[in-house]
Structure 1
Amino acid sequence: MFEEHIDVIQSPSGLGNQKPAPLVLFHDGGGTVFSYHMLGDLRRPVYAISNPHWGKQTCFEGGMPEMARVYVDLMRKAVPSGKIIIGGWSLGGLTSMEVARILADDKQFEVIGIVMIDSVCPLAYNVPPDAFLKIVPHVVEWSENTREETRQAVLKCFADATAMVGVWKLPTWDDSQITGRSLLRPPPVILLKAKEPVPVLEEGVSRVDVVRGDRKLGWDMYREGMIEKVVEIPGHHYNVFVTEWRLEIITDRLKRACLDVEKIHRLRRT
């Protein structure tokens, strides 16, 4: 039903005997994967999953868990079996957590790591309001060529994403139901973190910056030690894929993060 919403955006040749783990990237809050298509060569197969409800009046009524289940089904039809790395920008990183939990003891895929691109832990939003400045709503900056129907589709996806994350119960891991098996643990996570706060038009902070001062963007509130490495990238949350020079840097950081994930996986297996 939704097969057209998984794209093969990189299928490199000339890797010789190397068999790098494919990278599967999930869409951001706007529902599209356009930003991932602008990345440079990551030297591994790269897949991207967009929101199948984009441009429609439907949504994931089952929230984040339903969305993750749909995306796992898409992966089973398009991504080769074996080791994989998953991740994404903003909402895409959160989706990765739910997908990783579904695949924690899977026979087809082994998630060896997650790469989040400036994904803020939702638990950070539970901090009492008086603990930080007023949250200023984000104002989307459109290109003058952006069609009205595109704007409306993106805004609906943003609203749906905010609603889903607002009621999402992050997955638990220490509850293995498989007798004789060790407790399930989350895969290692590498966080690419934007250096700058989002500029706002009034006194306060953007919602994505409520824990900008925390190196791990609040993820220790969820599971301490899960973030293996934090790597800074230029720009703020909403422009890390804007301009050619930022794209070159984020491509390099993402490429290195995937290599780090593979290295961590090898070390844990020895």
Structure 2
Amino acid sequence: MGSMFDTNPNLIQEAPRHTYWPFAVKEATPLVLIHDGGGTVYSYHLLGELGRQVYGIFNPNYESGKRWEGGIPEMARHYLGLIKAVIPSGKIIIGGWSLGGLLSLEVAHLIAVDPQNTLDLLGIVMIDSVCPIVSTPPSVPIVPRTIQWSKHTKQETRERVLRCFDRAREMLMQWKLPEWAEAQPTGEQQEQGDGGHEKNTPPLEPKTASTNHTNARPPKVILLRAMEAVPAEGGIAMVDTHRDDRLLGWGQYREDLITTVMDIPGHHYNIFEMESTEAVTEAIRQACLKLEAGRKDQIW
């Protein structure tokens, strides 16, 4: 495990070398996790063994504070180049926590529309990534987040993280989500309803899209959803505007995007703390195995 800012992508976990490793998958697909809004991959270093090679992409402008003039699409293009530097071809899984999941969607679109693409994207693992589309304002006030810093966190680190969050909010305000081919006809996308019975769900067209038209379909997306709301006196946190929606708002973008939802303990900001990391690790591991197996889509 290398330090977090020596190379980008940062090698977080090496593939198991022993055949007796309990979670090892033959030729396990590499996983690339993209940073959250704070710009670092620190949280991913807290995960347990995932039985595969795991890379983390941190924001290369973390230290300089330089803006991405092209916004989310520019970041995604740069990050795809970083991915190809370590995985030039073959199968991959991408994903990330919060902003990392949104960036993964943009990267996936670039892969899908590239006529010379050499990557086989099995899918995306979104870790509590909330859809940025808010069609109906919440009935209670949105409370600004107050970060609880460790006493060991340096002042320059605090300033850089806060600056990254500010830049991320600016870019999300301008981001037009990628456009894909039309949703599957009714009956092809299924959801597991009460009692475990499957029910058909009607498709929705993308509500917000870029001008880049394509016939490409989105990859499978597995959403790890935090079960609790962030404690917020007098209102709710921005990340909880869709908390009561099992799809975290993604049905407003397109209803067939999320193929599986897996609940994880905690709220958005503590899912990588000690009491939750074991469960989150297992959920990510299972999500990757599911994408590799290509099993039937369902909402859990």
TM over 0.5: yes
In the alignment, which of 6, 10, 17 is matched to residue 7 of structure 1?
A: 10
**What displacement does 1:253 show?**
0.6
Q: What do residues 30-88 of structure 1 show as CA deviations (whole Å, max 9, x unaligned)?
A: 00000101111101111100000102131211100000000011111112411110000
Aligned residue for 1:112, secondary structure, equals strand
State the structure with bigger RCO (CA 8 A, min sep 6), 1 or 2: 1
Residue 115 (structure 1) aligned with residue 122 (structure 2): no
Q: Which residue of structure 2 aligns with residue 96 of structure 1?
A: 104
Amino acid of the structure 2 residue aligned with 1:237: H
CA distance in 1, matches of 2:152, 2:296: 49
Alignment check: 8 A CA contact 2:96 2:125 kept = yes
Describe the shift of the 1:140–1:192 C-alpha distance in structure 2 as closer, same or farther (beyond 3 A). Answer: same
Amino acid of the structure 2 residue aligned with 1:138: R
Alignment check: 8 A CA contact 2:65 2:164 kept = no
CA distance in 1, matches of 2:125, 2:227: 17
Q: Which residue of structure 2 aligns with residue 45 of structure 1?
A: 53
Residue 212 (structure 1) aligned with residue 243 (structure 2): yes
**Coordinate RMSD, CA, aligned:** 1.9
Describe the shift of the 1:237–1:135 C-alpha distance in structure 2 as closer, same or farther (beyond 3 A). Answer: same
Any gaps of 5 or more consecutive residues in structure 1? 176-181
Aligned residue for 2:162, secondary structure, equals helix
Same amino acid, percent of matched pairs? 51
Aligned residue for 1:5, secondary structure, equals coil
- TM-score normalised according to structure 2 size: 0.81
Task: Name the structure with the higher helix share.
Answer: 1
Aligned residue for 2:224, secondary structure, equals strand
Q: How does 1:15-164 map to 2 (within 5 A)?
A: 16=19, 18-106=26-114, 107-124=117-134, 126-127=135-136, 129=137, 131-164=138-171
**What displacement does 1:267 show?**
6.4
CA distance in 2, matches of 1:80, 1:45: 15
CA distance in 2, matches of 1:267, 1:211: 26
Alignment check: 8 A CA contact 1:132 1:210 kept = no
In the alignment, which of 177, 189, 192 is matched to residue 224 of structure 2?
A: 192
Residue 247 (structure 1) aligned with residue 277 (structure 2): yes
Moved more, 99-108 or 221-230: 99-108
Amino acid of the structure 2 residue aligned with 1:69: R
CA distance in 1, matches of 2:276, 2:109: 32
Any gaps of 5 or more consecutive residues in structure 2? 20-24, 183-213
Amino acid of the structure 1 residue aligned with 2:235: G
In the alignment, which of 176, 179, 197 is matched to residue 172 of structure 1?
A: 179
Q: Which residue of structure 2 aligns with residue 259 of structure 1?
A: 289
Q: What do residues 72-115 of structure 1 show as CA deviations (whole Å, max 9, x unaligned)?
A: 11111112411110000000000000000000144221211000
CA distance in 2, matches of 1:252, 1:115: 13
Moved more, 98-107 or 136-145: 98-107
Aligned residue for 2:133, secondary structure, equals helix
**What displacement does 1:183 show?**
2.7
